[in-house]
Amino acid sequence: MRILVMFDIPVKTKEQVKKANMFRKQLIKRGFFMVQFSVYMRIVRGITSAKTHVERLRGILPPSGNIRAIIVTEKQFDNMITLLGKDDEQMIKSKPTQLTLF
């Protein structure tokens, strides 16, 4: 299973930027990795573990912003479709992919 965390945190002031960066760093510290800017993901072993990790996110929430978490199965994640513009297709074809083993 996977947990996707999507967020929109205000970054208009230095203090807001600091809090947004702290939130991102905490996500990484807790095993999440960036999928896209403001979208992070973590792989977990099951629904119980996923719910535990989502509850732990409550402890690192910034004072303002919009944070959403969704739990998806591997089958649901595998059905994700990535849509790319022509420039992005060329960029991806030219870069080697990295294999991750778990």
Q: Residues at the annotated binding site for Mg(2+)?
A: 8
**13 three-state secondary structure:** coil
Closest CA to 66 of 21, 6, 3: 6
Where does 1-102 have alpha helices with state H?
Answer: 14-29, 47-57, 74-78, 86-94
Bind-site residues: 8
Three-state secondary-structure class, residue 100 = coil
